[in-house]
Amino acid sequence: MAKQPPTDQKAKPSSASSSARGRNPATPARAADSYPWRRVLFGCLVVLVCWGIGIQREYPEAVNTRLKVAQDWVFSRLWTQLSAHSNARIHPLRKPLWAQVRGGSSVLELGPGYGDALAQLTAAPARYVALEPNPYLHPKLAENARANGFAVQYDNEAREEKQSKNRDHAKEDTKKEMPAFVIVNGTLDGGAQGMIPKYVTDHAPYDYVVTSLVLCSVDSVQANLDAIQALLKPGGKYIFVEHVRHSHAHKQQQPGDGLDVAKWARIQSLVSRVAWPFTGNCHFDRNTGDMLKAMGGWSSVDYKTSVKADSLEAKMTPLIYGTATKK
């Protein structure tokens, strides 16, 4: 019987087993047919961003209008939570200032929000014009005005005029013997020579213009200050409580003496660059007091500074409060 040729007992390792030996046993094998989801999702994101940029360039006005509506809605929800805490902080500073408003006078308030400052008036003005650009705040603003003895009206450009409930209230209020409180939808960002709402200019000049934490969120502080001065009567007063950038030149350093002013000024600038879309365009680094003093046309600019370190909010928002009187 013929001998069988000897066979090699050492089998040649297959390529599959070789690669298996070279792989870390703890690493699971990647499926050959796995789908590159991350790349697909990233690609979709890039397409959406490019599409958004294209829409913004093609229809800038429409996009900006939609963004403004969204920003107003977000801020109205945010302010609902923050207004009570903010009022508790500024009411003691605002009360003696608002007490200067004489009965029978004309008042223009910029950005009244929910109208929380109305309760601090000690005399009823003859006419109170509330220039509030966020229509989501109008209903509660009207409610607070009525609670403080005003007859609420709406300028034709105020969005809430279109709502029947508020319109009916306004018609009822005009029949009552109460001082007029007129809600106007708009701002002074156009400046003294710009597109200020017609109702505001038609009823100028005013005895008082008042603001509380407003100039931090306008497009141009200087344009607003110019318009405020132009809308005042000679001898009229601009009354304000505003938060500003930290400065070594502050007149009054309350318990915040130990703050590192330069450090917190840098933090204010950094936060302002990224937070404004979510805070109603609020900026923490504005030099409103210095700008007021640098303007001509005032017979006096008198304000104090409140700097405290008892909370993050206080550290981020030192306050100036006082009056500027027109020549």
User: Residue 101 above 80 pLDDT?
Assistant: yes
Reported confidence tier of residue 6, pLDDT bands at 50, 70, 90: low
Q: Beta-carbon neighbour count of residue 204 at 10 Å? A: 17
Cis bond leading into 6, ω under 30°?
no
Segment holding 234, helix H or strand E: strand 232-243
More reliable by pLDDT, 62 or 271: 271
User: Residue 324 above 80 pLDDT?
Assistant: yes
Closest among 159, 153, 191 to 69, alpha carbons compared: 159
Predicted pLDDT at 191: 65
User: Residue 72 above 90 pLDDT?
Assistant: no
Q: Could you read off the pLDDT of 138-151 as tens digits, one per residue?
A: 999 999 999 999 99
Percent helix, strand and coil across the chain, each to the nearest 5:
45, 15, 35
Q: Compute the average pLDDT of residues 181-188.
A: 94
Q: Could you read off the pLDDT of 252-283 as tens digits, one per residue?
A: 445 455 678 888 888 888 888 887 776 778 88
More reliable by pLDDT, 76 or 320: 320
pLDDT, the chain, mean = 80
Q: Rounded to 5 degrees, what angle do the CA atoms 307, 313, 316 make?
A: 60
For residues 249 and 306, give the distance between their C-alpha atoms in angstroms, rounded to a whole number.
12
Predicted pLDDT at 169: 54
User: Residue 19 above 70 pLDDT?
Assistant: no
Q: Could you read off the pLDDT of 23-48 as tens digits, one per residue?
A: 555 555 555 557 788 888 888 888 87
The answer to whether residues 141 and 117 touch, using CB atoms and an 8 Å cutoff, is: no
Reported confidence tier of residue 161, pLDDT bands at 50, 70, 90: very low
In percent, the amount of the chain with pLDDT more than 70 equals: 73
Q: Could you read off the pLDDT of 199-255 as tens digits, one per residue?
A: 999 999 999 999 999 999 898 999 999 999 999 999 999 999 999 998 866 544 454
Most confident segment among 65-74, 189-198, 252-261: 189-198
Tokens encoding 218: 């306008």
Closest among 154, 161, 147, 79 to 113, alpha carbons compared: 79
Residue 240, beta-bridge partner list: 211, 322
Q: Compute the average pLDDT of residues 169-177.
A: 55
Q: Which of 2-6, 242-246, 303-307 has the lowest mean pLDDT?
A: 2-6
CA dihedral 198, 204, 209, 211 (to 10 degrees): 0
Q: Compute the average pLDDT of residues 110-122.
A: 92
In percent, the amount of the chain with pLDDT more than 90 equals: 43
Tokens encoding 243: 């938060």
Reported confidence tier of residue 307, pLDDT bands at 50, 70, 90: confident
For residues 227 and 223, give the distance between their C-alpha atoms in angstroms, rounded to a whole number.
6
User: Residue 99 above 60 pLDDT?
Assistant: yes
CA dihedral 197, 199, 200, 204 (to 10 degrees): 140
Reported confidence tier of residue 111, pLDDT bands at 50, 70, 90: very high
Predicted pLDDT at 20: 46
Reported confidence tier of residue 118, pLDDT bands at 50, 70, 90: very high
User: Residue 317 above 80 pLDDT?
Assistant: yes
Reported confidence tier of residue 18, pLDDT bands at 50, 70, 90: very low
Q: How far are the Cα atoms of 185, 270, 279 from residue 157, in angstroms, in the given order?
A: 6, 36, 24
Q: Which residue has the tokens 């209008």?
A: 65
